[in-house]
Structure 1
């Protein structure tokens, strides 16, 4: 089969979904662009701060994407390209897009508070505590998995490492001149993009070669610093510039596929059982960020909602970002599906899924004149930049949630654990400790926990919408399906890790499953009651 049809059909379907279903959701929920958002009413210059929609779109997309929509589809390619494609399209439109859009909207209607706070208001204080613990543990898995993935990428593509270091310095300068010297965004963007591609060229000329362990230590130090600084210093400017990397990479990949038209070598469907891994439920937890991801709800309600300039921007930032991510996931499965089985195994063994993806896009770009080595380094830099964004955003969210769990009352003496530096340090150290092994061991548990987190986010918003007298029926099928998937997947993972006597990876999913089931039970009681408070 020609891969051109896969990419073109998926883009058209996603565009139609954004225009029709996205607009229908806005109407059902009562999006009001005249209503002031928390970014204006609670502007503190650190976490709450209005951002123009292109800037926030770049931040939100870079934060939610990371390496997830690449690692997941490529890892799930063992089941064949057709199940992966169907899940990306159906999941992205009706599951992930709904969750992402609604999480931002629910948060701005709760003063920019996180999903945990929304649960406390609409379900109860115990629910908030359970969700907080669950979300924090999931974010530790995010840090563990992505630190591993970025370190592997820097080792396999040293040019991406040096480019990333220069890119971080560029982003800090960009933020300083835009936010503190009032430099126009248009002029700054042109200069920033030119310098950004200059970083790529210099990275190819001066690759930075370090061991994986050294990179892990450097990355842990970086995410600590990046996660405690005001958003204007690094978070907003870097993510905005990241968006240009994304757009260039997507355009380059699509253009390369159109010119090259690679033939799909991977079978449409391989087997339901591949090496002991069952298509159901493992496909639906392996492909997380490209279809639905609970991490997105934490980003949307944790950072993006605090920067939303207008309620109308929630559609492009929430629903739009998810569908763009789906396009990235489709491209990822094509990079795995067009090579032979032996070549795929070779690329995977040399540097993981990111290496498979970078090699594929490098080949596609070479068809219209971009040197293969430059194209591969560029893609590795882009994905590393997204993964770094997910890392420091995840760490910042971990700090928020950890501080919420401390639940310090006004007037009480300061609890040292509620200090943002201490809360961030604890999150970084524990996440780094979990990530000391291989990403392949962490990813299945991260995927399962991540999808179960999505169930809890969907439940939280659905309960609020029901109590507000708004339409919540678009949540019912996603909630039920994802709950069945994740419970089954976690039980299988517990059984597998018991057999291999890996007791840490037994205890963690067991704990997550217990917390989630208790919270689901409490939410169900509230959900099935006839209480309506008309919270708007």
Structure 2
């Protein structure tokens, strides 16, 4: 119990301390006009309040990841708490904040465009394809997972096909309509439901004295399961997730002032970390140890854990509300995944999205492909999603490190987690059956070599970019409120 409580406290303290430090390193300009005003189009670019932006950002980034990921990560034991806390403060929230703020400085640009500007045109094309693939996988996963939860909750009142069709219909509307029509209007209520349900489960764990295991040398993780690299891909959302880099530009286009960035980007990642801590603790403590957790996962998957834990902590009515809060998570990330994909493709081809017909030409093929992907086994999709997700985080962290290096600022805040995650995703793909299938020892050695090479290439490219005085932001002097 103490490990859990201390972890939550550290996350909150991290927002007020390290979050403030990262903001100072970046150097906000309160008088600089944001893309919400300079590129206002009434569809994707328009100013919204800090509260709305914060809750939308939280729901954008918090798919099933901070629930399902920590539940599966609980099998590694209390070490999962360390990764959630340290990963969130020093990697995930830094990743989200810098991605969002650099996007604001560059007309709300998405990751492919930022990668092209700071890492070269070849990377722009690579990241563009990579981001679209990731978003399609996310959108598809976030159709099937909430559909299963709803199907379980409704206890056979309807069919899975009808539920999936209803979710797709909602996604189409949320992808095509201006951001303030559905997302801006309903997300604050969804966000409140999410926070209340998560806090309810967390308070229930503490009040009822759930036997949450403490971190110790003898109980570091069960069965000596190899932590590296699997833990860092199993728990992504809630600690560090590249999916967030595809979502923050949605809100960078609606943010009113740079001073709001720490609350919106860094703060909402901390909130997601707290949600992850709660569900990891619930999974570790409510099912008679790791053997019971394994049996529950085999029987009903993470969705079954959510249902059982919610009902155990909050009763029938409160448990149902908690389950609804979890259902909201993937749905409110799936819709913005498709919206992000539409925006990235439109930016890539410089295709205006002011007219709904232009949006349809991009959106319809995306939904057709996603529907086809729903026929693939969920576990296979999730494996590829996990690797693609963390690889995207790696790219975003290197982009942020390059930006700070050129600006003569402390680039290590992005580079250190970037180096660590480069080694992680490389080791995973070299070792995994979906990759090269090498032994873990060989994979780790290969990962060290690849990471060293990428780091050397980074310094070479960064020094050239600094010498060439690469512009770091869009020139909007005409709009600026102050010089």
TM norm structure 2:
0.87
Contact kept? 1:152, 1:352, Cα under 8 Å: no
Contact kept? 1:133, 1:405, Cα under 8 Å: no
Q: Cα distance, 1:220 vs. partner?
A: 2.3
Q: Cα distance, 1:152 vs. partner?
A: 1.0
Q: Distance in 2 between matches of 1:116 and 1:524?
A: 21
Q: Distance in 2 between matches of 1:533 and 1:44?
A: 28
Q: Could you tell me which of 260, 268, 272 is aligned with 1:325?
A: 272
| Matched ranges for 1:360-375 at <5 A | 360-365=309-314, 372-375=315-318
Contact kept? 1:46, 1:231, Cα under 8 Å: yes
Q: Distance in 2 between matches of 1:64 and 1:156?
A: 24
Contact kept? 1:455, 1:479, Cα under 8 Å: yes
How has the CA–CA distance of structure 1 residues 377 and 268 changed in structure 2, closer, same or farther, with 3 Å as cutoff?
farther
Q: How many corresponding residue pairs?
A: 451
* 2:236 is aligned with 1:288: yes
Partner of 1:402: 345
Q: Cα distance, 1:436 vs. partner?
A: 1.9
Partner of 2:173: 225
How has the CA–CA distance of structure 1 residues 145 and 313 changed in structure 2, closer, same or farther, with 3 Å as cutoff?
same
Q: Distance in 2 between matches of 1:12 and 1:255?
A: 14
Q: Cα distance, 1:498 vs. partner?
A: 8.1
Q: Could you tell me which of 249, 258, 270 is aligned with 2:206?
A: 258
Q: Distance in 2 between matches of 1:524 and 1:216?
A: 47
Q: Cα distance, 1:523 vs. partner?
A: 5.6
Q: Cα distance, 1:522 vs. partner?
A: 7.3
Q: Cα distance, 1:7 vs. partner?
A: 3.4
Cα RMSD of the aligned pairs, angstroms, is 2.7
Partner of 1:191: none
Partner of 1:122: 118
Q: Cα distance, 1:45 vs. partner?
A: 1.5
Contact kept? 1:294, 1:453, Cα under 8 Å: yes
* 2:3 is aligned with 1:51: no
Q: Cα distance, 1:268 vs. partner?
A: 4.4
Q: Distance in 2 between matches of 1:23 and 1:136?
A: 33
* Secondary structure, counterpart of 2:102 in structure 1: helix
How has the CA–CA distance of structure 1 residues 524 and 122 changed in structure 2, closer, same or farther, with 3 Å as cutoff?
same
* 2:23 is aligned with 1:11: no
Q: Could you tell me which of 447, 465, 470 is aligned with 1:533?
A: 470
Gaps of 5+ in 1: 159-206, 366-371, 500-515
Q: Cα distance, 1:332 vs. partner?
A: 0.7
| Matched ranges for 1:145-294 at <5 A | 145-158=141-154, 209-264=157-212, 268-273=220-225, 278-294=226-242
Q: Cα distance, 1:361 vs. partner?
A: 3.0
Q: Cα distance, 1:489 vs. partner?
A: 1.2
| Matched ranges for 1:12-161 at <5 A | 12-80=9-77, 82-158=78-154
Partner of 2:441: none
Partner of 2:444: none
Q: Distance in 2 between matches of 1:51 and 1:68?
A: 26
Q: Cα distance, 1:42 vs. partner?
A: 1.8
Partner of 1:170: none
Q: Could you tell me which of 281, 304, 315 is aligned with 1:334?
A: 281
TM norm structure 1:
0.78
How has the CA–CA distance of structure 1 residues 419 and 126 changed in structure 2, closer, same or farther, with 3 Å as cutoff?
farther
Q: Distance in 1 between matches of 2:107 and 2:230?
A: 37
Q: Could you tell me which of 368, 374, 377 is aligned with 2:320?
A: 377
How has the CA–CA distance of structure 1 residues 491 and 290 changed in structure 2, closer, same or farther, with 3 Å as cutoff?
same
Q: Cα distance, 1:270 vs. partner?
A: 1.2
Q: Distance in 1 between matches of 2:417 and 2:307?
A: 32
Partner of 2:447: none
Contact kept? 2:194, 2:328, Cα under 8 Å: no
Contact kept? 1:38, 1:112, Cα under 8 Å: yes
Partner of 1:353: 302
Partner of 1:369: none
Q: Which range moves more in the overlay, 220-229 or 481-490?
A: 220-229
Q: Cα distance, 1:404 vs. partner?
A: 3.1
How has the CA–CA distance of structure 1 residues 359 and 448 changed in structure 2, closer, same or farther, with 3 Å as cutoff?
same
* Secondary structure, counterpart of 1:290 in structure 2: coil
Q: Cα distance, 1:119 vs. partner?
A: 2.0
Q: Distance in 2 between matches of 1:382 and 1:495?
A: 33
Where do 4+ consecutive residues of structure 1 move more than 4 Å? 265-268, 494-499, 516-525
Deviations 1:286-312 (CA, angstroms, capped at 9, x unpaired): 1000100001111112x1101111111
Contact kept? 2:342, 2:362, Cα under 8 Å: yes
* Secondary structure, counterpart of 1:437 in structure 2: coil
Deviations 1:202-227 (CA, angstroms, capped at 9, x unpaired): xxxxx772232332233223212221
Gaps of 5+ in 2: 439-450, 474-483
Q: Could you tell me which of 290, 293, 302 is aligned with 1:344?
A: 293
* 2:430 is aligned with 1:491: yes
* 2:223 is aligned with 1:309: no
